[in-house]
Structure 1
Amino acid sequence: MKTMTPYSLVPLNPAAMMDVWKLGIMVFELWSTSLSTITMRHGLWQTQSPTSARMLRENQRMVTEKLEAGLETGFEIQKAMLQMAFGQSNPWWHTGRRTMAPYHRRSSANSRRLAKRR
């Protein structure tokens, strides 16, 4: 029977430290692009009619993207939990990047798209 070696809480090699660094950069980018997207959408809500076709499409897109990102993140968490149940595991920095990727991807795309409109 193969024994599983547990990962340490702190990365011990340079490659793992780089992965933790990438996770930190992803967190910062997600935070900054989320704030800019919220600010730009807030500006749209203040300057556009809430019943205009453009605002209805934007609001519908916002809700749909959040639901899709939530489902993708849930699937990644479920996959990590199943791997743990079967004796396989990944370090937290790999799982963290995989679970944050859907939100990061959509937030960055929204920030770029809304910034072009101005």
Structure 2
Amino acid sequence: MKHSSTLSLVPTTPVAMFDIWKVGLMACELWSTSLSTITMRNHLWQTQPFFSPKMMQENQRMVTEKLEASMEAGLVMQKALFNSMNGQLAPWWVTSKRTMKPYYQRSSANSRRLAQ
């Protein structure tokens, strides 16, 4: 019988379990900062005229950041795909963390910036 060396979906080391915990924490923080950012931007849209320079700048920033984060996450996924084609498999929790990172950083920064 042939033995394959595929990655396990279940972590087998304490370090891997800690990485999964960090991915879950990152996902919860991303969720909460996204909700607060959406709420604060909604408030701005309701209280500021849409044609004011401040609102136009904020809207442009929002769209630009979303596009940049999407492109970065897409590149991470492509890199993971190409690496897996070359036999360099990464566990799902590593790929998940790398993929969420661009969204997480921008969402956290926006939440802090808009809260001021």
Give the structure-1-normalised TM-score: 0.94
Match of 2:65 in 1: 65
| DSSP-derived class of the 2:23 partner | helix
SS in 2 for 1:49: coil
Q: 1:6, CA displacement in angstroms? A: 1.6
Matches of 2:5 and 2:47, distance apart in 1 = 57
Amino acid at match of 2:28: F
Q: How much has 1:7 moved relative to structure 2? A: 1.4
**Residue 17 of structure 1 corresponds to which residue in structure 2?**
17
1:51 maps to 2:54? no
Q: C-alpha separation between the residues in 1 aligned to 2:54 and 2:5?
A: 54
**What is the aligned residue count?**
114
Deviations 1:25-67 (CA, angstroms, capped at 9, x unpaired) = 0000000000000000000000000000000000000000000
- TM-score by length of structure 2 reads 0.96
Deviation at 1:4? 7.0
Q: Give secondary structure in 2 for the equivalent of 1:11.
A: coil
Q: After superposition, give the CA deviation of every residue in 1:79-103 in whole Å (9 maximum; x if it has no partner).
A: 0000011111100000000000000
